[in-house]
Amino acid sequence: MNSSDLRDALRRDAELVGEPPSDLLERVEDLRRRSNRRRTGVVASTLGVALVVAAIPVGGVLLDQPAGGNVAAPANAAADAPAPAAAEPTTPSLEQQRADAAEMFGITDPPDVPVIALVRPEQKEALVTACMAEHGYAPTEEGHYAIPNAELAAFHRAEYICDVSYPIDPALVGVPADEDRIIN
């Protein structure tokens, strides 16, 4: 239906029910334009996604071709291909966690501290805070520690002991967003 057909239909309807609002034709045409734009956008997006999806396998095939232009792969290409790399664990080993804690708290001669429990990242803060309270250090209401300079070395030693007593379980691997996924 074009604009002149729409005007004729509106005039006929106006004769039956009364005069339509003066901007009704403009509003209908605006709705039609927006609908056409939306439809065009959906079609363009769908085509774009289809092209990207179709290009991925094609691009992979093109990248795997040898430089000399010979497309035929040797019969034992699968056997010669390197195995895919295993996912790198994002949780450091216990030794690395101890070394990192010693560096962070400035401990040059770290004591030998037994591991009380391997924990998940979300458990660690509460356990370390409780451990610090057992060592005589309680945080303020804001969550900070108020330590005089004279006690700073003892405080950092307690931080080190509490931190390495509850290391993050190295069996937890994955991207940082899903660090708590366990892979055995």
Tokens of 44: 């363009």
Domain boundaries, the chain: 3-63, 94-178
Q: Cα–chain-centroid distance for residue 160? A: 30
3-state SS, residue 182: strand
Give the per-residue pLDDT at 98. 93
Q: Is the pLDDT of residue 48 over 70?
A: no
> How far is Cα 158 from Cα 115, in angstroms, rounded to an integer?
14
For residue range 58-111, list pLDDT tens digits in order: 444 445 555 554 444 444 444 455 544 554 546 788 899 999 999 999 999 999
**HSE of 3, CA atoms in CB hemisphere, 13 A:** 9
Give the per-residue pLDDT at 38. 66
- Please give the C-alpha separations between residue 123 and each of 31, 36, 182, in angstroms, as whole numbers: 55, 54, 15
**HSE of 67, CA atoms in CB hemisphere, 13 A:** 0
Burial class of 26 by CB neighbour count within 10 A (0 to 12, 13 to 18, 19+): exposed
Q: Is the pLDDT of residue 55 over 90?
A: no
Q: Looking at per-residue confidence, does 63 or 173 come out higher?
A: 173
Give the per-residue pLDDT at 158. 95
Give the per-residue pLDDT at 108. 92
